[in-house]
Structure 1
């Protein structure tokens, strides 16, 4: 795998720092607010379906999630959502946006080792302002030559990055926690991918583990050094 690789891209959320755990905590707080009106299962299912329907409009990230919570609450209260609950939902979203960045164990040591021999970059998706905030607060920018915040992570999105950065597919390695977003589309353009699982994965990001010569799965991010050195 390492023979031709010159550029290593890292996903951000749940690869460099914690993220999904905060969405699940917010979902629980939302359930607690709305449960007087319906069952917990109905709340979770309706919120998930609302999020999926809104992805083409809002994209990924906390702001879209917050709007989907408000919309879900309106649906489940049959349009009779008390104003104070609306404010509490908005407060849930704001608290997520104000969360300090918590690096995943081993991340900085991996970046410190790899940036001496490879060109490193961030390739993430989500809300531009929020992702820029997290990159800045992470204090990891010293290791990266480029940060790309994408609206989605599909084959054409990766092709555009490679073209813009003048990278051949065989020279590119993507490291991330999502098989659907960080692995499969990268393998489909003949680049390389490493899957590093996170403890929690959003249902929308689930996918089958591929069988591909350019694919590697590890248990934790520090195992990357065993492969790339």
Structure 2
């Protein structure tokens, strides 16, 4: 499949700015709150199971995560979780929603450089209001020609989005930290997929690297402009 590279799609969380570490910090608090009812490993298994069950109903993001923590707390305590613990879980969720946006290294420079030469689209999943607030706080919003906040990232998602951008799907590249959500489905749709590994990976986002000619991996976003120039 050929096509001049004209459009670059960026993931947001843990690609442009920190996200997963705030979930990790909240999970540590959650483990501490329920240490009398379940050991840490068992509790995390129950929480992941709850998140997996609830994605279809709650979607991705802090609000669904908070509800899954509450559900897990009720389960592991046999319905006897103190109201004070529920209150602390809710407070932790609000703190996550209010946390300042911290850009990852080279994110601003890469977006700035590519905005001058390519059509840029932010493609992220999660809570609409929270993602909009983070984008506004990042200072990067004006550099994007389009913003897509989606319920999930599948091949048809990328086919729809990139199908309406310069160069179409064949002329598009998706850049992100999630092999499962950012890279594999974009390649399956016919675009380029560029993996930018991040030190923390949510269990539900793990996947194997594809064996595909349109797959690339870079150490950080500092290497992206050169890669784009080489492929354009």
Fold-level match, TM-score > 0.5? yes
* Equivalent residues of 2:3, 2:170 under 8 A apart: no
Task: Give me the whole-angstrom Cα distance separating, in 2, the residues matched to 1:159 and 1:2.
Answer: 15
**1:73-114 Cα distance to aligned partner (Å, 9 max, x none):** 000110011111110000010000010000001111111111
Q: Which runs of 4+ in 1 moved over 3 A?
A: 163-167
Change in Cα spacing, 1:59 to 1:167, as seen in structure 2 (3 Å) is farther
Match of 1:214 in 2: 214
Q: Equivalents in 2 of 1:213, 1:159: separation in Å? A: 18
Task: Give the unaligned 5+ runs of structure 2.
Answer: none
Q: Does the 8 Å contact 1:2/1:228 carry over to 2?
A: no
Structure 1 unaligned blocks of 5 or more:
none
Distance in structure 2 (CA, Å) of the matches to 1:199 and 1:57: 28
Provide Cα deviations, 1:26-74, integer angstroms capped at 9, x if missing partner. 0000000011112111111100000000000000000000000000000
CA distance in 2, matches of 1:116, 1:203: 36
Paired residue for 1:203? 203
Question: 2:28 maps to what in 1?
Answer: 28
Note if contact 1:11-1:122 (Cα within 8 Å) is conserved in structure 2: yes
Is the partner of 2:189 in helix, strand or coil?
A: coil
TM-score by length of 2: 0.95
Partner of 1:113: 113
Aligned partners of 2:168 and 2:2: how far apart in 1? Answer: 14
TM-score w.r.t. length of structure 1? 0.97
The CA RMSD over aligned residues, in Å, is 1.5
Give the superposition deviation at 1:3.
6.6
Alignment of 1:41-190 (within 5 A): 41-165=41-165, 168-190=168-190
Decide which moves more: 164-173 or 114-123: 164-173
Aligned residues: 229
Once the two structures are superposed, residues 2-29 of structure 1 have per-residue CA deviations (whole angstroms, 9 ceiling, x without a partner) of: 9711110100000000000110100000
Instruction: State which drifts further: 159-168 or 49-58.
Output: 159-168
Indicate conservation of the 8 Å contact 1:2/1:227, yes or no: no
Post-superposition offset of 1:168? 1.4
8 Å Cα contact 1:51-1:68 kept in structure 2: yes
Shift of 1:175: 0.3
Q: 1:2 to 1:198 in 2, by over 3 A?
A: farther
User: Hey, what's the Cα distance between the residues in 2 that align with 1:124 and 1:176?
Assistant: 10
